[in-house]
Each structure stands twice: as structure tokens, then as C-alpha cells.
Amino acid sequence: MKRLAGVNKALHRNRLGEIGVEERKNAVRLTGKVDSREQYLKAGYIAAGRGYRGVINDIEVNAGGEGEMNLPSFQDNALEGKHFNVAVVGGGVIGAAIARELTRWNLDIVLLEKEEDLARHASSRNNGVIHPAFAPSPGTNKAYYNCFGNRLFNREAAELGIKIEWPGSMGLFTRRWMRLLMPFIRHRARQNGVRGVEYISPEKLKNLEPHVNRRFWGAVFFPETGNVSPYKLTIAYGENAAANGARVFLQTGVEGFTREQGRITGVQTNRGTFGADVVINAAGLWADRVAEMAGDRYYTIHARRGTIAVLDKKAGPLVNYNLGVLPLADTNTKGGGVTLSVDGNVLAGPTAEEVPRREDYSTSRLDIDFLFQQQMTLNELLRPDHAITYFAGNRACTFEEDFIVEPSPHVENLIHVAGMQSPGLTAVPAVSREVSRKAVDILSSYRNVDPDPGFSPYRKPPIELSRLSLEERSRVIKENPSYGRIVCRCEVVSEGEIIHSLQSPLGVFTLDGIKRRVRAGMGRCQGGFCTPRLVDILAREAGADVRQVRKSGPGSELVLKKTKGEVDYTGFKLKGVPGKKEEENSAADRF
């Protein structure tokens, strides 16, 4: 009761005395009404860190709510009456990695994703940085999983055939005296298990990163900073999981759970209700809603948007390291800055801004101006017209601002993986191992769980033409001439690569699906030239009408009508062109 009084007092101090406070299963629950989102957030943060398991923020905001979870609208019976040993809810990078990790065991695994592809939310909306475990406070889950995730990443990338690079990062000093922080920085690095930290003098910085803004007084170098493509990684996890027997159900949303005597017995979806021995909640921005449905909500997710600008590959040679300003205090933002990407683009961002609607990914002029004025300028040669596009993603934050990776004490076969904001991507290999172990522990309490002798951690990477030598390219084209036809001219992606991506075990047939797999449409023309051709390729490969081809989810069809009907132009003659006999003017050959 003392804790509760403390929360109450603090709320009063902050003129939030109207808010109701109560304890619920060792968590603190806030109720009532406030005018603004800021007050809602403030109350949540006040209640956090006071010894409770978590904050349930049920305060209503007069200014407007968070928007509803976007669930698939269609129904079928694909899952009705089935049974799985483990059901993983959420096809982001965490869920996909956990599903893949679980296929090491002789278990029936199902991965559920409400969207039409994996990595539709935070997992495709970040800058792909593998962080050194420096930023998190020592002793937190973030610090622990960050450190071990980072160390496991090379192996993970090698097994999955994913490109990974380790350029290292510079934490830039904004003040001359900041070099005096080096002993503290080294101490923190030791506490968190960060290796190879090095002081970089202003002169050395200028040599290593010639175009860095002159206002910085040297930097601290973190060699353990790397980059991956976060969506390719997620898809690779999903494909490897599927190849090892996991069932991946896309466009499958969890609508509820059947519970009996403190355990989940059934998972209700738009595709039927099925049985599950263990349920893993990796639902990202909606993890608290899934927790509520499962009967164990003790945390609240709020969305913090990050906007990132993608710069032309021409800017690539201007940057050697990931650059960011060394934060002077623990912040909830991950700083942002200028980072490299494995695909050759430079990224500027992310920003950090609290937004009410969890699935709202619209960008704003303010964010873009901030990127251009505050972050891009870390490098003196980067210019706004280097930007080819920009996008936003929402971090799934809890008020405790730490990862939740734990079995539920109230629902015996439920495991929570929530609050996986930055460095969530870095943490993935460590979190997936831990969660998989916990799931196996639960199952082992009443049955035998044996390793699957057929498991293979290796995924054969798809052919990427642009990374082959000319000889290898020629050999690939000779074997399959479709690799000789370039469809996306900016990223130099061939039809062969596109067709291959459509044959993935996940069976995703969308324009954005192709984009996330082979980058067609991600270059400087942003799909201007290749979109019409991709539409035809998609229709042909899917055996569908072109009007069914979608950009992403249902409702995003691209072609509304055909204007010509089915006209066969073969043999059509162009008449009346002077200087040529009619039979030489076959229009089909010309135009």
C-alpha cells in the first residue's frame, strides 16, 4: 500500500491528482480521464519504476485514442481444430526468430501474423543497426540481451545467408571536455560487456571520417556496431522456420484465447480456433492487447515514432562509420544520426516522437526538417536532395522502457516478449534463444521434448546479381536467362531474382513483398520505371488477373480497370507509313 501512496503523491505533485490508482496482480493500474496525450504519458511514467511489475495505463484521453488494431477482415477455417505445441503471435523479427529457434526441437510450431507479409511494422521500419550494448543502463534486460545478441549476430547472419557489416560507430563529442568522460565510458562499457571502446582525438576523427562536421571534439569509437537489413533478416528467419517445418500463417489475427484453469487452451483467429500448448506473445505494438486477451496484462505499450530518411547510394562513399552524438544521459531515443546500410544507402535518423495512433506511419514536415537540420548535418557533405525517400516506424515502448522477456506467473503457458524497442533488433538472437528455452521448459514439465534431427540452421541465400563477379553473373544468366533481364534499373534487379523471391515458402505476392526481398523499387526512381513491369510479373507468376495485384494488404490493388480488353496484337499491321511495304510494318515488332 506504501507503493500505491507513493504513486498517488507523485501524481498529485504533477497536477494529475484526478487519476485513479489501484493495484492489480502486482501491477499498478491508472484510470480516469485527461485532456492530452502528454498527461497520459506523464502519468504512465510517474507510475513506472516504483516496484510494480508494470503499469496498466487505462486513462482515457479526451483528445483521441490510439486507434484500433488493424485486423484481417476475411474469415476461413484454415486453422480450425488444429493443434500446435507452440503458437507464436506476431511475425516481426522477434516472432520469426523465436519460431525458427523452436524448430530445432521436434515440435509443431505455428507463427501467426495479421498482415500479408512478415516485417510489416517495426521490423521493416528501422535503420538496421546492430548496437553495441553501451546505451542501456547496466543490469537491465536491454543491456543483457543487447550484449549477447550482438555477439551472436555474425553466426546468425552466416547461417541465414544475410549480409552483415561491422563499420563501427562514432559517438561524437559535442564539448571539448567530454574526452574527460573516457574513464566513465570505459567503466560503463565493462559493466555492459562492450569491447574495443577507443578514444578518437579530433585529428584522428578528421582522418577516419573526413566529412564529419567540424564542430565535434573527437569521439568514442565502438567497433561492435554493425548493420543488417532488418526486413531481409525477418524474412530469412521466417523462411528458415518454414523450411524446418514451422507453419507460417499470414493475414491471421488473434481475436481471443480460450482459457481453462489458468492456462490457454485455444487460440481464436479469423481463420479458426486451434489448440496450443504454449503461446508466445511477440505482438509488438499490440503486445498489451494480446496480453489482455490472454488474461495477463500488466504493461502498456505506447508508440514512439521514428522517421528515417534514405539517402541515395551516391552518398555512400561520403560516410565511413555510423555517426551519432554521444548522449550525456540515458535517453529513450537511441540518439539517431547518420548510419550506413548494407545496401549502400546512407540513412539519417531516426527521430523520436510520441504518437497516439500505434499503426499511423505518416511522416511530417517537422520530422523531416529535424532530420535534415540536426542529423544529416553530422556529415558536412550530405544534402537534403540526397534523400530519395523517407519512412516512419513506431517503437513499441513500455513505461518501464525495458524489454519484457518472461513467462507469465498467472497464465502458466504464456510467455511475454514485449517492449522490444531499440536495441530490440540487436537483441533478437539472444531473446529468441531465451524464449525458446523457456517454452521448452514449460513443455518439458509434462512431456519429452527432443531435438529435431532434421533441423538445418542454414538458409541458402538467394542469388543477388549485383553482388556477383562478372564471370559468376554470366554463368547464372547462361543457366537461367531470366537473370539477364533487368527489371529494376536503379537497384539492378533481374527478373530471375524477382521470380525466385516469389517462390519463397512464405508465398507473398505483393509489390512491397518483392521490394523487401530483392529491393526492386527501392532505388532513386522509387519504382517509377519497374512498377508496371512488376505488376505484370506478379500477375503472371501468381496466375492472377492484373487487377488482383496489390501493393501490400487487401485494398491496395493497383490496377482498377483494363482499358483494352483482351486484344491480340500479333499480326496487327501499321498501315500507311510511307516508305515501307505493309508486311514490314508489323506493329508488334516495333511498338
Partner 1 sequence: MQRTDFKVDTVVIGSGPAGMAAAVAAAEEGAGVCVIEREERPGGILKQCIHDGFGLLQFQEKLTGPEYSYRYLQMVENLQIPVLTKTFLIEIQHEENGFRLILQNESGVFSLNPRAVIYAAGCREKTSRQVFLQGTRPAGVITAGTLQYMINIQGYLPAGKCVILGSGDIGLIMARRLTLEGAEVEGVYEIKSEPSGLTRNVAQCLEDYRIPLHLSHTVTEIHGTERLTGVTVARVDENFKPLSGTEKFVPVDTLVLSVGLIPENDIIESLGVELDSRTSGPVVDQYNMTSLEGLFVCGNALHVNDLVDYVSESGETAGRAAAEYAARGLNHGDSNGKRVNLTPGNGIMYVVPQQWKIPMEEETVFYFRSRETVFRAELEVAAGNQVICREKYPVLRPPEMERLVIEPYLIPPGTKEIQFRLRC
Q: Kindly state whether residue 573 participates in binding partner 1, applying the rule CB under 8 A.
A: no
Task: List the one residue from 447, 485, 540, 573 that touches partner 1 (CB under 8 A).
Answer: 485
Tell me how far apart the alpha carbons of residues 171 and 187 are, in angstroms, rounded to a whole number.
Answer: 16
Q: What's the start-to-end Cα distance of the chain, in Å? A: 81
Q: Kindly state whether residue 49 participates in binding partner 1, applying the rule CB under 8 A.
A: no
- Distant-in-sequence, close-in-space partners of 306: CB < 8 Å, separation ≥ 6: 125, 126, 336, 349, 350, 351, 352, 353, 392, 393, 394, 395
Task: List the one residue from 26, 332, 577, 582 that touches partner 1 (CB under 8 A).
Answer: 577
Question: Nearest distance from residue 250's CB to partner 1, in Å?
Answer: 15
Question: Nearest distance from residue 269's CB to partner 1, in Å?
Answer: 21
Question: Nearest distance from residue 544's CB to partner 1, in Å?
Answer: 14
Task: List the one residue from 155, 460, 478, 573 that touches partner 1 (CB under 8 A).
Answer: 478
Contact between 359 and 121 under an 8 Å Cβ cutoff? The reply is yes
Per-residue binding string, partner 1, 172-191, x by CB under 8 A, is --------------------
Residues 367-386 binding partner 1 (CB under 8 A) are 368
Q: Kindly state whether residue 470 participates in binding partner 1, applying the rule CB under 8 A.
A: yes
Question: Nearest distance from residue 126's CB to partner 1, in Å?
Answer: 16
Closer residue to partner 1, CB minimum distance, 342 or 559: 559
Residue-by-residue DSSP string for 421-476: -TTHHHHHHHHHHHHHHHHHHHHHTTS---B-TT-----PPPP-GGGS-HHHHHHH
Are β-strands 263-269 and 247-249 bridged in parallel, bridged antiparallel, or unpaired? unpaired
Closer residue to partner 1, CB minimum distance, 29 or 121: 121
Task: List the one residue from 2, 15, 365, 575 that touches partner 1 (CB under 8 A).
Answer: 365
From 4-12, 203-211, 262-270, 486-494, span contacting partner 1 (CB under 8 A): 486-494
Contact between 509 and 518 under an 8 Å Cβ cutoff? The reply is no
Task: List the one residue from 474, 507, 544, 572 that touches partner 1 (CB under 8 A).
Answer: 474
3-state secondary structure of 393: strand
Q: Kindly state whether residue 562 participates in binding partner 1, applying the rule CB under 8 A.
A: yes
Question: Nearest distance from residue 64's CB to partner 1, in Å?
Answer: 16
State CA 438 to chain mean position distance: 23
From 2-10, 256-264, 374-382, 389-397, span contacting partner 1 (CB under 8 A): 389-397
Task: List the one residue from 536, 572, 573, 582 that touches partner 1 (CB under 8 A).
Answer: 536
The cell for 377 is 548535418
Helix 230-243 and helix 511-518, axial crossing angle in degrees, nearest 10: 100
Task: List the one residue from 8, 140, 258, 526 that touches partner 1 (CB under 8 A).
Answer: 526
Closer residue to partner 1, CB minimum distance, 56 or 348: 348
Residue-by-residue DSSP string for 517-558: HH-TT-STTTTTTTHHHHHHHHHHHHT--GGG-BSSSTT-BS
Q: Kindly state whether residue 15 participates in binding partner 1, applying the rule CB under 8 A.
A: no
Tell me how far apart the alpha carbons of residues 47 and 351 are, in angstroms, rounded to a whole number.
Answer: 25
Tell me how far apart the alpha carbons of residues 513 and 119 are, in angstroms, rounded to a whole number.
Answer: 10
* Omega prior to 384 cis, within 30 of 0: no
Task: List the one residue from 199, 217, 391, 455 that touches partner 1 (CB under 8 A).
Answer: 391
**Which residue, 490, 400, 496, is CA-closest to 139?**
400
Question: Nearest distance from residue 549's CB to partner 1, in Å?
Answer: 10
Tell me how far apart the alpha carbons of residues 94 and 424 are, in angstroms, rounded to a whole number.
Answer: 8
Q: Kindly state whether residue 477 participates in binding partner 1, applying the rule CB under 8 A.
A: yes
Closer residue to partner 1, CB minimum distance, 18 or 557: 557
- Distant-in-sequence, close-in-space partners of 588: CB < 8 Å, separation ≥ 6: 569, 570, 571, 572
Q: Which helix (H) or strand (E) holds 267?
A: strand 263-269
Contact between 301 and 193 under an 8 Å Cβ cutoff? The reply is no
Question: Nearest distance from residue 363's CB to partner 1, in Å?
Answer: 5
Q: Kindly state whether residue 361 participates in binding partner 1, applying the rule CB under 8 A.
A: yes
How many residues bind partner 1, per CB under 8 A? 63
Query: Which amino acid makes up residue 339?
Result: T
Tell me how far apart the alpha carbons of residues 169 and 183 are, in angstroms, rounded to a whole number.
Answer: 19
Q: Kindly state whether residue 214 participates in binding partner 1, applying the rule CB under 8 A.
A: no
Q: How many CB atoms lie within 10 A of CB 154?
A: 14
From 229-237, 275-283, 340-348, 388-396, span contacting partner 1 (CB under 8 A): 388-396
Task: List the one residue from 112, 118, 535, 537 that touches partner 1 (CB under 8 A).
Answer: 535
Known catalytic residues? 131
Residues 283-322 binding partner 1 (CB under 8 A) are 314
Task: List the one residue from 152, 342, 486, 542 that touches partner 1 (CB under 8 A).
Answer: 486
- Residue 299 Cα distances to 4, 358, 460, angstroms: 16, 15, 39
The cell for 565 is 480488353
Closer residue to partner 1, CB minimum distance, 76 or 536: 536
From 141-149, 287-295, 321-329, 561-569, span contacting partner 1 (CB under 8 A): 561-569
From 99-107, 297-305, 323-331, 471-479, span contacting partner 1 (CB under 8 A): 471-479
Task: List the one residue from 137, 214, 554, 582 that touches partner 1 (CB under 8 A).
Answer: 554
Task: List the one residue from 196, 328, 532, 544 that touches partner 1 (CB under 8 A).
Answer: 532
Q: Which helix (H) or strand (E) holds 290?
A: helix 287-294
Task: List the one residue from 97, 254, 311, 388 that touches partner 1 (CB under 8 A).
Answer: 388
Q: Kindly state whether residue 363 participates in binding partner 1, applying the rule CB under 8 A.
A: yes
From 42-50, 208-216, 470-478, 498-506, span contacting partner 1 (CB under 8 A): 470-478
Question: Nearest distance from residue 387's CB to partner 1, in Å?
Answer: 7
- Distant-in-sequence, close-in-space partners of 135: CB < 8 Å, separation ≥ 6: 146, 327, 330, 334, 335, 423
**Which residue, 290, 283, 265, 284, is CA-closest to 275?**
265
Tell me how far apart the alpha carbons of residues 34 and 45 are, in angstroms, rounded to a whole number.
Answer: 15
Residues 493-522 binding partner 1 (CB under 8 A) are none
Q: Kindly state whether residue 65 participates in binding partner 1, applying the rule CB under 8 A.
A: no
Q: Which residues bind partner 1 (CB under 8 A)?
A: 70, 314, 359-365, 368, 387-391, 470-471, 473-474, 477-478, 481-482, 484-486, 489, 492, 524-529, 531-532, 535-536, 546, 550-565, 567, 574, 577, 579-580, 589-591
